[in-house]
Amino acid sequence: MSMEGYIRKNLDTAWWIEQIKAGEEYRKVAAYQAHWAKWRAFYRGQWRSDIMPVNLFFSMLRSTVPRIYFRNPTVSITPGKPGLLYMAFAQILERTDNKLIRQMKLKNHMKRAIQDAFLFGTGAIKVGFGGQYTPSPSFDPDFDNYGLDNKGNLTEYLSTTAPNMPWVSRLPPGNLVTPAGLMSFDETPWLATEIVRPLDDVRRDPRLIGTRDLTTFFVEDTKLYGVRRRRKMVRMYEIRDWRTHQVAVIAPDKNGNKVLFSGFDEFQIVGMPILPLIFNEDDEYCWGLPDSQIIEPYQLESNELRTQIMKHRRLAIAKILARRGAIRPEEQQKLVSEDVLPVIEVEGDPRIVIDKMQAANIPQDLILDKREIESDIREAVGFSRNQQGEFNNRDNTTATEARIVQAATDIRIDERRDMVADLLTSTIEHVNTVIFNHWTQEDVVRVVGPGGVPVWVQFQGNLLKEGHYHVNVDPDSALPETRELREQRAAQLYQFLSTNPLIDPVKLTQYLLSEMRGTAFDDLMYQLPGVGSDGQVVSPGGFANMIGQSIQSIPQQGVNPPRGAA
């Protein structure tokens, strides 16, 4: 019996295109996609010329993202098995992951995913290996996983990709397709991503087959940028089937849909390589509820009030009424000049041809309504005046009130920061899976050995696979910290823990010196004897032996053994 989407183990392209079209219609409803362009324009400050706006979208988004993204994203790795070798592997993997985080520019992509989650309800991160459009890595040496044509020219241009290296990228929510009616990403049978590429690149891409006679289209807005010759583009869908762990690339075609790639998806070992970020869950849809949907009514009302205030302010300015032709243009300029008592010549009796009109002042009800709307906005989003970057000039605010407001805000911010931490953890777990399966060549990484000695360790990624590691992320690393605060905290912690017999004094001293300012503190510590020296290249087993030697010398030195070394 054939499975839906397949005919005798071959892709039923008509079925898949039908499902994708249904998923796109579902996204329009569940993700409020019809409003995306409007919300994007609000954030950009694109308003009609007759509107005086109060850009809540920009201020709210720029206040939210810095509070929940990780300024210095790092992970800590703990071994899932006991033993010195697995502890050594854990240190190697931790150092490798934190190095990759910077190389992949993960922080930048996560910031963009956070912005998508705020504006459109759902953000996403995609994990890959090799090239940007590599559907699945392969052990086949003849398979090019980096998108180079037969002349060595690139057919893709994501700068953070490299041969035989993992990468991450923000996936625009408008390019993500789910099954129609899906209620949770954790239950999805498949996911698809829309890919639009130039026809010339598609034809030169060695990873794709059957690229002749594809249906093309022109980018609709190219004329806006003065492009005389428009490029032919191809629309494709990359489908990842969780039921069969297959991945396929299909190009819709009026003469019959074409399969450009089909094979086993090695990215689906620990789940889908597409990781969603949702701040506001919906009980009926897998797509999140956008913050924009909540803010929009307040945005429109604030704009209306501010526009009315602007118009009343214009009306409140004194006006001069004059009979047509009674005052020449050059004489009219004297009425608004800085000259004192200028002589203005008029045609006829000034008491008859000139009069003054004074309009009413700005209604106070508009000012009160403006304050009420601002209060409603802060209640909806959970930000006080101070947390939005505005000084609260109340003189009677007590410390208790300030703590209550701060605690309520921290609850909302911490929840979102925890979601971002989960996304970072899942991303690194997928990256590690790629490393375990495809890093077969030797690599060298610098780690901190016993006694603070830097050691160069040579390893293969596939040797780390059997460690069963646990990835941890500290959400508090997203909080801004000054250098003075870190030094003060390190000194207090050292004084508090230095007499605790359960604390490793070597590591405690290393932590203190690492937080102190300047390079003068780098070489203050003695190096433990018999544990190697800087510049030495060892294997993971040799690194584990160093740890064992340091443990054996610990009783004579009065140093406690590292935790987890037994």
pLDDT single digits (tens) 533-558: 455 677 777 777 776 766 665 544 44
The DSSP element (H or E) to which 544 belongs, if any, is: helix 540-557
Who wins on pLDDT, 473 or 100?
Answer: 100
Task: With respect to residue 330, please indicate whether it lies within any of the assigned structural domains.
Answer: no
Per-residue pLDDT, 164: 85
Closest CA to 416 of 288, 295, 272: 288
Task: With respect to residue 238, please indicate whether it lies within any of the assigned structural domains.
Answer: yes
Assigned token pair, 118: 């705020």
Burial class (CB in 10 A: 0-12, 13-18, 19+), 353: middle
Beta carbons of 563 and 81 less than 8 angstroms apart = no
pLDDT of 46 > 80? The answer is yes
Domain total in the chain: 2
Angstrom distance (rounded) from CA 518 to CA 538: 30
pLDDT of 118 > 80? The answer is yes
pLDDT band at 390 (very low <50, low <70, confident <90, very high): very low
E-strand ranges in 230-353 read 232-241, 246-251, 258-264, 274-277, 319-322
pLDDT of 566 > 50? The answer is no
Who wins on pLDDT, 86 or 475?
Answer: 86
Closest CA to 462 of 441, 448, 483: 441
Per-residue pLDDT, 197: 94
Strongest mean pLDDT among 142-151, 212-221, 260-269, 452-461 = 260-269
3-state class percentages of the chain: helix first, strand second, coil last, to nearest 5: 45, 15, 40
Who wins on pLDDT, 492 or 230?
Answer: 492
**Segment 488-508 mean pLDDT:** 84
* Domain carrying residue 218: 6-292
pLDDT of 273 > 80? The answer is yes
| Other beta carbons less than 10 A from residue 400's beta carbon | 8
Task: With respect to residue 363, please indicate whether it lies within any of the assigned structural domains.
Answer: no
Angstrom distance (rounded) from CA 149 to CA 142: 13
pLDDT of 511 > 50? The answer is yes
Interacting residues of 298 by C-beta distance below 8 A, sequence separation 6+? 56, 373, 376, 377, 380
pLDDT of 532 > 90? The answer is no
CA 386 to chain centre: 25
**Segment 327-336 mean pLDDT:** 79
Q: What is the pLDDT of residues 356-384, one digit of tens each?
A: 666 566 677 667 777 777 776 766 665 55
Angstrom distance (rounded) from CA 564 to CA 331: 91
pLDDT of 452 > 50? The answer is yes
pLDDT of 345 > 90? The answer is no
Task: With respect to residue 12, please indicate whether it lies within any of the assigned structural domains.
Answer: yes
Angstrom distance (rounded) from CA 301 to CA 476: 36
Per-residue pLDDT, 444: 78
Per-residue pLDDT, 525: 61
Beta carbons of 207 and 128 less than 8 angstroms apart = no
Task: With respect to residue 351, please indicate whether it lies within any of the assigned structural domains.
Answer: no
Q: Which residue(s) pair with 148 in the sheet?
A: 154
What does pLDDT average to over the chain? 80
Assigned token pair, 169: 């990228």
Is beta strand 470-472 parallel, antiparallel or unpaired with respect to 216-218? Answer: unpaired
Residue bearing tokens 């300012």 = 517
pLDDT of 417 > 70? The answer is yes
For the chain, give the percent of residues with pLDDT over 90: 32
Residue at 191: amino acid letter: L
Beta carbons of 543 and 88 less than 8 angstroms apart = yes
Q: In this predicted structure, which of 291-295, 413-417, 543-547 has the lowest mean pLDDT?
A: 543-547
Beta carbons of 36 and 120 less than 8 angstroms apart = yes
Assigned token pair, 28: 């329009």
Task: With respect to residue 401, please indicate whether it lies within any of the assigned structural domains.
Answer: no
Who wins on pLDDT, 320 or 170?
Answer: 170
Is beta strand 166-170 parallel, antiparallel or unpaired with respect to 123-129? Answer: antiparallel
pLDDT of 130 > 70? The answer is yes
| Other beta carbons less than 10 A from residue 292's beta carbon | 24
Per-residue pLDDT, 195: 96
Per-residue pLDDT, 378: 66
Per-residue pLDDT, 87: 81
pLDDT band at 9 (very low <50, low <70, confident <90, very high): confident
In the listed set 292, 309, 328, which residue is the last one of a domain according to the structure? Answer: 292
Strongest mean pLDDT among 165-169, 447-451, 461-465 = 165-169
Task: With respect to residue 396, please indicate whether it lies within any of the assigned structural domains.
Answer: no
Assigned token pair, 27: 């996204």
Cα angle vertex 161, ends 157, 166, to 5°?
Answer: 150
Interacting residues of 463 by C-beta distance below 8 A, sequence separation 6+? 89, 540
| Other beta carbons less than 10 A from residue 131's beta carbon | 23
Q: Helix H segments across 224-328? A: 291-315
Using CA atoms, how far residue 22 sits from 5, 28, 192, 421, 467, in Å, is: 14, 10, 12, 32, 43
Q: What is the pLDDT of residues 131-188, one digit of tens each?
A: 999 998 875 555 567 888 888 899 999 999 988 889 999 999 999 999 999 999 999 9
Residue 341 zone, left/alpha/beta (φ > 0; ψ -120 to 50; rest): left
Longest Cα–Cα distance in the chain: 112
Beta carbons of 456 and 537 less than 8 angstroms apart = yes
pLDDT band at 528 (very low <50, low <70, confident <90, very high): low
Per-residue pLDDT, 371: 73
Query: Dihedral through CA 39, CA 43, CA 44, CA 48, nearest 10?
Result: 60
Q: What is the pLDDT of residues 226-270, one digit of tens each?
A: 666 678 899 999 999 999 999 999 999 877 899 999 999 988 988
Beta carbons of 258 and 210 less than 8 angstroms apart = yes
In the listed set 243, 265, 292, which residue is the last one of a domain according to the structure? Answer: 292
Who wins on pLDDT, 558 or 518?
Answer: 518
In the listed set 258, 292, 326, which residue is the last one of a domain according to the structure? Answer: 292
Beta carbons of 529 and 450 less than 8 angstroms apart = no
Q: Helix H segments across 35-83? A: 36-44, 56-68
The SS3 call for residue 259 is: strand
Task: With respect to residue 511, please indicate whether it lies within any of the assigned structural domains.
Answer: yes
- What's the DSSP call for residue 559? -
The DSSP element (H or E) to which 127 belongs, if any, is: strand 123-129
Angstrom distance (rounded) from CA 56 to CA 298: 8
